């Protein structure tokens, strides 16, 4: 055990700064949102939550975020696998490129998608529209949340000893059976963590989604773009209520992450 020393004034100052920072940046906004949502009583809340366009916006956010999670889980696993297990030319560059969604402004990413997939774009689809339609939103959400699964799984996969895998092969397990029964169980926690992060990012995205989707009410409008529109329309209760629900989702995700992180520490210790 480390000895606990009496705290110095400097330590008090640093703790104070950290707490103040958290209060101003995280806690105060949360309190403001809760206050805003309830300040006119329960009726406007019920009204907002029964508004078909609000429900539709939530549905678009949720379903397409889950779609992005599905795509990025598969893509992320494959990417992590390739980066860890395959040696090929350009692997280093590929490894760096994975992080592009972290550093790109989502608005620019959305604009690039319009250029690519919009009318007259190089990859404009002939059958159904992507831009200003739901596929575009899925694409945008997928893009901005792309690195999480790959980046969570990659180090764990890298640290797994090759011997249990070799053991499974000698015992007679096929490559697929070995992956499913020997490797995947080792990756579960990291994979879930990556999935949760992916979902959080995909649900919360606004910039790329509003550029590609166009925020068409009752069609491509998502929960976050509803908040934006409600603010413009001076429908502050609607904005507060939807924000509050999104916040609750975030808090839930936060707890889930904390839980998973503890499991990760336990399984690695």
**Which spans of this chain sit near another protein (rule: CB under 8 A)?**
161, 163-164, 166-174, 177, 181-182, 185-186
Q: How far is the CB of 160 from another protein (least distance, A)?
A: 10
Q: Which is nearer to another protein, 258 or 267 (CB)?
A: 267
User: What element of type H or E holds 224?
Assistant: helix 223-232
CA distance 75 to 77: 6
Q: Which is nearer to another protein, 43 or 163 (CB)?
A: 163
Q: How far is the CB of 4 from another protein (least distance, A)?
A: 32
CB 202 within 8 A of CB 222: no
CA distance 199 to 70: 10
Q: How far is the CB of 80 from another protein (least distance, A)?
A: 19
Q: Which is nearer to another protein, 34 or 264 (CB)?
A: 264
Q: Which is nearer to another protein, 51 or 165 (CB)?
A: 165
Tokens of 89: 């030319």
Can you say how many angstroms the Cα of residue 144 is from the centroid of all Cα atoms in its chain? 8
Q: Which is nearer to another protein, 78 or 171 (CB)?
A: 171
Q: Which is nearer to another protein, 105 or 159 (CB)?
A: 159
Q: How far is the CB of 179 from another protein (least distance, A)?
A: 13
CA distance 114 to 3: 59
Closest CA to 165 of 154, 179, 155: 179
CA distance 267 to 269: 6
Q: How far is the CB of 76 from another protein (least distance, A)?
A: 21
Q: How far is the CB of 192 from another protein (least distance, A)?
A: 14
DSSP collapsed to 3 states, 142-195:
HHHCCHHHHHHHHHHHHHCCHHHHHHHHHHCCCHHHHHHHHHHHHHHHHHHHHH
CB 141 within 8 A of CB 199: no
Q: How far is the CB of 57 from another protein (least distance, A)?
A: 41
CB 227 within 8 A of CB 209: no
Q: Which is nearer to another protein, 16 or 164 (CB)?
A: 164
Tokens of 183: 């490797």
């Amino acid at each position: 055990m480390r000895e606990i020393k009496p705290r110095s004034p400097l330590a008090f100052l640093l703790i104070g700064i950290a707490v103040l920072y958290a209060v101003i940046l995280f806690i105060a906004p949360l309190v403001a949102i809760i206050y805003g949502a309830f300040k006119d009583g329960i009726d406007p809340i019920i009204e907002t939550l029964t508004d078909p366009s609000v429900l539709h916006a939530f549905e678009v956010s949720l379903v397409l975020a889950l779609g992005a999670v599905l795509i990025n889980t598969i893509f992320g696993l494959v990417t992590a696998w390739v980066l860890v297990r395959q040696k090929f030319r350009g692997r280093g560059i590929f490894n760096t490129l994975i992080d592009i969604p972290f550093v790109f402004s989502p608005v620019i990413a959305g604009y690039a998608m319009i250029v690519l997939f919009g009318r007259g774009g190089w990859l404009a689809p002939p059958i159904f529209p992507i831009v200003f339609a739901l596929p575009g939103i899925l694409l945008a959400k997928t893009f901005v949340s792309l690195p999480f699964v790959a980046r969570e799984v990659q180090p764990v996969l890298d640290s797994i000893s090759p011997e249990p895998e070799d053991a499974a092969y000698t015992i007679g397990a096929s490559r697929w059976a070995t992956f499913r029964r020997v490797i995947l169980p080792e990756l579960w926690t990291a994979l879930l963590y990556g999935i949760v992060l992916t979902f959080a990012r995909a649900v919360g995205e606004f910039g790329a989604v509003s550029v590609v989707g166009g925020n068409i009410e009752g069609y491509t409008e998502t929960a976050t773009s509803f908040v934006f529109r409600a603010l413009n329309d001076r429908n502050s209760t609607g904005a507060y209520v939807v924000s509050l629900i999104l916040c609750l989702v975030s808090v839930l995700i936060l707890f889930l992450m904390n839980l998973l992180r503890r499991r990760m520490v336990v399984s690695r210790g």
